């Protein structure tokens, strides 16, 4: 299995994560479904690292980071190091619900930059959602009842009244991309209209970015 790195920075050049690039990582994670989460670490205050082992694939390390300047999802063979020494509520809950459990499913909402990882262990099933959306990124642990157990970033109503991300509150997914068209829903006439608009309004790349869901610069 190839390792894939989806980062917001590569050297000094920014890399934009969109639906299509995140879908590549989802495909690689599919090979680890059924594998065991052997270890959980917090490489820094905004990241979660999980050591996964599947017999057919071997050992892989998954990094999910909500850093506003370098949000990323990374699957690698290189061991992730613990960076946060203090045991935080998030780390304790990840150890309780994820460590020792099995990865039972990997999902991605249509055209969204979100990975939805389902784990099942002795304490019951949980979801770990990685929202890789630039400065709005987050990693959220959600219980069977759909309520937030903990998150890398706690978001209160004073910050976002629509999406409160606090322990005990219902998990609310990111809002759909407004006024954007689904690429697979466009027929030949729809594509011709976009190309015509590119000639009249803006460069094609700019028009596609602002018109189609799931795209990035």
What's the CATH code of the domain at 132? Answer: 2.30.310.10
pLDDT in tens, the chain (217 residues): 444 443 333 333 445 778 888 999 999 999 999 999 999 999 999 999 999 999 999 999 999 999 998 899 999 999 999 888 788 999 999 999 999 999 999 999 988 999 999 999 999 999 999 999 889 999 999 999 999 999 999 999 999 999 999 999 999 999 887 777 788 888 888 888 777 766 566 677 777 777 887 776 6
Based on the fold, state whether residues 125 and 206 are members of the same structural domain.
no
Asked if residue 84 is part of any domain, the answer here is yes
Nearest to 208 by CA among 183, 189, 185, 188: 183
45 within domain boundaries: yes
Give the span between the Cα atoms of 115 and 34, in whole angstroms. Answer: 17
Instruction: Residue 148: name the closest of 131, 134, 129, 175 by CA.
Output: 129
Q: Are residues 138 and 216 both part of a single domain?
A: no
Residues 72 and 32 in one domain: yes
Identify which of 147, 146, 148 has the alpha carbon closest to the alpha carbon of residue 138: 148
Residue 119 falls inside a structural domain: yes
Asked if residue 164 belongs to a domain, the reply is no
Six token digits for residue 162: 């629509």
Nearest Cα to Cα of residue 193 among 214, 176, 209, 208:
208
Q: Could you say which of 151, 166, 190 is where a domain stops?
A: 151
Is the domain of 24 the same as that of 86? yes
Two tokens, residue 175: 């809002």
Task: Return the pLDDT at 208.
Answer: 75
Q: Give the pair of three-digit tokens for residue 75.
A: 């699957």
Does pTM surpass 0.75?
Answer: yes
- CA quadruple 28, 32, 33, 35: dihedral, nearest 10: -170
Structure-token pair, residue 158? 């004073």
Q: Are residues 137 and 204 in the same domain?
A: no
Q: Determine which helix (DSSP H) or strand (DSSP E) holds 209, and give its type and residue range.
A: helix 204-211
Q: How far apart are CA 38 and CA 98, in angstroms?
A: 9
| Six-digit token string for 217 | 């610069």
Kindly give the interhelix angle for 188-200 and 204-211, rounded to the nearest 10 degrees: 130
Answer whether 100's CB lies under 8 Å from 94's CB: no
Residue 160, C-beta contacts closer than 8 angstroms, at least 6 positions apart: none
Based on the structure, what is the number of domains in the chain? 2
Residue 159 placed within a domain: no
Residue 32 belongs to a domain? yes
44-62 residue pLDDT tens? 999 999 999 999 999 999 9
Containing structural domain, residue 217: 178-217
DSSP helix/strand/coil, 52: strand
* In-domain check, residue 33: yes
37 and 136 inside one domain: yes
Q: Which residues pair with 117 in a beta bridge?
A: 106, 128
Residue 161: inside a domain:
no
Same domain as 193, residue 90: no
Q: Is 25 in the same domain as 130? A: yes
Do residues 120 and 190 share a domain? no
35 with 94, same domain: the answer is: yes
DSSP, collapsed to helix, strand or coil, labels residue 113 as coil
- Looking at the fold, whether 190 and 113 belong to one and the same domain comes out as no
Residues 118 and 30 in one domain: yes
């Amino acid at each position: 299995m190839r390792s894939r790195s989806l980062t917001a920075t590569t050297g000094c050049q920014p890399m934009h994560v969109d639906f299509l690039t995140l879908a590549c990582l989802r495909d690689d994670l599919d090979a680890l479904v059924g594998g065991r989460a052997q270890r959980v670490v917090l490489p820094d205050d905004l990241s979660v690292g999980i050591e996964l082992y599947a017999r057919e694939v071997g050992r892989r390390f998954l990094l999910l980071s909500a850093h506003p300047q370098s949000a990323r999802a990374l699957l690698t063979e290189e061991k992730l190091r613990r960076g946060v020494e203090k045991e935080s509520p998030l780390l304790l809950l990840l150890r309780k619900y994820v460590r020792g459990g099995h990865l039972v499913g990997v999902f991605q909402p249509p055209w969204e930059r979100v990975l939805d990882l389902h784990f099942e262990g002795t304490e019951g099933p949980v979801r770990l959602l990685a929202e890789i959306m630039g400065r709005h990124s987050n990693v959220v642990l959600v219980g069977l009842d759909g309520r937030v157990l903990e998150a890398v970033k706690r978001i209160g109503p004073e910050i976002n009244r629509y999406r409160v991300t606090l322990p005990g509150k219902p998990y609310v997914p990111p809002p759909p991309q407004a006024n954007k068209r689904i690429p697979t829903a466009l027929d030949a006439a729809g594509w011709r209209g976009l190309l015509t608009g590119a000639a009249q309004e803006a460069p094609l790349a700019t028009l596609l970015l602002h018109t189609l869901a799931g795209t990035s610069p």
